[in-house]
Amino acid sequence: MLISRFNALNIQYKRADKKDSLRGNNSVSKFSIPLNKCFKGYIAYDNINYIKRNGESSMNLKDNYIKIRENFSKELAPKVLETELNAWDFYTNSTDDNLKKYLKSEDETHNLFKNEEIYNQLKEIKNKGLNDKHLNKQLKDLYKSFDEELNAGELKQKLREKENEIAAKYNAYVPKIDEKEVTKPEINKILETEKNPEIRKKAYDAKINGGDIIAADLQELVKLRNEFAKSQGYENFYEYQLKEEYDVNSAELDKLLDDVYINAKPLNNKLKQENQQELSEVFKIAPEELKAYHYGLISDKNPAKAINKALKTKEQVVDIAKTAYKNMGFDLDNMNITLDLFPRKNKNTHGFCFEIEPGKDSRILANLTNNTNSLDTICHELGHCVYNLGIDTKLPYLDRGTTPAMTEAVAMMMGDLLQREYILKDVVDGESLKKYQNDYKKSEAKFINRSMLIINFEREMYKNPEQDLGKLWHDLKCKYLGRNVSENIDNEWATIPHYLSHPGYYQNYFRADLVKAQMYNHLTKELGLLTENNRTAEYLNNNLFKLGRSIEEDDLIEQFTGEKLSSAALCTSLQLDKE
């Protein structure tokens, strides 16, 4: 997943990767003049004189907005860069000192949005409106960032502090099995390969115990977020995030979710029955006796098992990904990409791309091992990196970024290359690879189910944070994953990193899955298989990446793929006919 703290200038506390996250920071100001005085002399005073000379009615609102935006960006850019660098330091080495630096620079960046004179200027322009769809949306986002810091700053600060407190607590958790410390990749490997139920249960418990540590705090954070959302005129924080952070229409999202769920249901029911039957045979128990820790095993019938067996080292996983990108025309070794890819102590256990400086500096934190999940992860995160580095640095600063669904669509498409193209042809025999590729729609179905669970749980959690969240998670797992009612109720929900660091974000993965299907169809019509055409990089750079966020997301999707966002392409990829 992409990590970008200041998305669309909606200052936020966020983090995660497709399969996960946190945040906070501060440092010494680069400006000797106090920020409010700097703005009065540098922006506001100049604008006021312009108004006095020419009269407000003769002013070009668009030019005035751009002038304010560009001057503010000169102050904002170095602070955001400093915060991103401190975030990277903290996530790759989670010491108390690095956390303090991170929190300090974050606070300083947020303080830039407390200039009342700029706020009033933006408010006046916003009330009149701009005759430009993109600039009008950008103005609204920028104004909102000032408005929230000035009028709800104390509560926002409280939210940031609470989030960072929870993140620090979760990062400090070290999983253990029989008193021996284990890493997240080691736990995942046990759940993928181990057939001894007792060992599997210990691994599952080690994973879930991290959720136990933060569940109560996370529930309190949800309540605080709702309090903030209500102060902004929303029923709850989830609805606030959808509209204000991601500009997603809740009713349209529900329609897409329902459409895909209904169309995928026959396939999902079939796959659930097959999976339960396989697991019951392996563990020699009835399907209704299966527990949470039985799931995740890669059975002998699963084509991924042959691939994992052929992947001998984690370094081989990285080399395969680099070769795939090279074949598309991306020279990763000569791009400014920093890779921190393997587990170690004091390092965050998830996987993200850090958008340090669009067009200039992109970094990946991951915890890879030698399996298909890790290959998916590195291909996915590299997708974020090349997108970020392809952004035109001549764009206005606030347009140098990516929209959530588009960047996730590119990253998810790159992760799919394992099964949709032939990047593993030199790793396994042709028959094994074909079987693995034929399993693609199963992977998509699993993702759909998981998305339904995570999205609907979060929505219901914010609607009623007082309810038993463990039971809610259990009930929705039964509905969407086909789990047994007899499964134990636990705090697995609290281990989903997005709930802490990227509230409301997971629906972007779902929408990105729809975009990805449209995007891949379009690209293969133009280029053929992406990893067999070294013009792929040039095509993506020229037609998508360089545009950054200079075009609104829905318009960008339609412009690039030739279609409005819909569920049609995804349903077709699952061999399902859309009614």
Quote the tokens at residue 36: 């409010």
What's the confidence (pLDDT) of residue 9?
39
Q: Where are the domains of the chain?
A: 2-170
Contact yes or no for 507/248 (Cβ under 8 A): yes
Report the C-alpha gap between 75 and 553 in whole angstroms.
Answer: 26
pLDDT of residue 30: 23
pLDDT of residue 575: 63
Cβ neighbours for 252, distance < 8 A, ≥ 6 positions apart: none
* Cβ atoms < 10 Å from Cβ of 344: 10
The residue with tokens 């995030």 is 241
Distance CA 249, CA 255 (A): 10
The length of the chain in residues reads: 579
Spatial separation of the C-alpha atoms in residues 515 and 133, rounded to whole Å: 22
Return the axis-axis angle of helices 440-463 and 469-481, rounded to nearest 10°. Answer: 150
pLDDT for the residue numbered 2: 54
pLDDT of residue 500: 94
CA 184 to chain CA mean position, Å: 19
What integer pLDDT is reported at residue 348 of this predicted model?
84
Q: Of the candidates 102, 1, 3, which has an alpha carbon nearest to the alpha carbon of residue 401?
A: 3
Instruction: Provide the pLDDT for residue 264.
Output: 85
Region class of 201: left (phi > 0), else alpha (psi between -120 and 50), else beta? alpha
Q: CB of 370 within 8 A of CB of 346? A: no
Tokens of 108: 């300083």
Q: Please state, in angstroms and rounded to a whole number, the distance separating the CA atoms of residues 275 and 448.
A: 16
Burial (0-12, 13-18, 19+ Cβ within 10 Å), 332:
middle
Sign of the dihedral defined by the CA atoms of residues 109, 115, 121, 122, in that order: positive
Burial code of 478-513, b = ≥16 C-beta within 10 A, e = fewer? Answer: eebbbbbeebeebbbbbbbbbbbbbbbbbbbbbbbb
**pLDDT beneath 50, residues of the chain:** 3-59, 576-579
Q: What pLDDT sits at residue 102?
A: 92
DSSP secondary structure letter of residue 20: -
First to last CA, the chain: 32
